[in-house]
Amino acid sequence: MAVYGQQPQGAPDRPAGVDARTLWSGGVATALVVALIALVGVVVFRGVFGIPILAPEGDGVWGNVSTVWFMTVAALAALLAVALVHLLLLSTPRALSFFSWIVGLATVVVGVAPFITDADLASKLASALINVIIGFAILGLVSGVARSAVARGIRNG
């Protein structure tokens, strides 16, 4: 009979296996998706609605270097989220709950951040919307990939 808090004999002393290959390949795909979300957001708001997102209107629908910068930051945020979930899966009970809270709160921060600038209201709203959509995409895609990676890690481990 096992005492509360002790593991039964033969139980692994490490968390469930994680298939890192599945996790990181899904993470790279997520990075591509969110970079494209950033691009689509800039094209839609600047091109269709004429709302400047990242650069003055004179730079055209595709923006300028800051459009590429925005896409790069979105992709890096996705990869950072994959690193975070990997660390949590290897070390933390209920890892996906903690991951959801962390990414959810970070999404609130990036959603509110445009409102501390001197931009006009339309630009603030458009930027906030793009940021929140990127945050939700990262949360949903990385969480799904993490669940798949754990399921594969358990089967293969």
pLDDT of 66: 81
8-to-2, 16, 91, 100, 130 alpha-carbon distances in Å = 6, 15, 20, 30, 49
CB environment 40-71: b (16+ within 10 A), e (fewer): ebbebbbeeeebbbbbeeeeeeebeeebeebb
The predicted structure's pLDDT at residue 10: 45
The pLDDT tens digits along the chain (157 residues) read 444 444 444 444 445 689 999 999 999 999 999 999 999 999 999 889 988 886 444 454 444 548 889 999 999 999 999 999 999 999 999 999 999 999 999 999 999 999 988 888 999 999 999 999 999 999 999 999 999 999 876 665 5
95-100 — which CB contacts under 8 Å span 24+ positions? 95/15, 95/146, 96/143, 96/146, 96/147, 99/142, 99/143, 99/146, 100/139, 100/143
Query: Residue 13 has which token pair?
Result: 């002393």
The model's pTM: 0.82
- The DSSP output letter for 59 is G
pLDDT for 124 equals 92
Burial class (CB in 10 A: 0-12, 13-18, 19+), 146: buried
Alpha helices of the chain — where are they, by DSSP H?
Answer: 20-42, 65-91, 95-112, 121-156
47: which DSSP letter? I
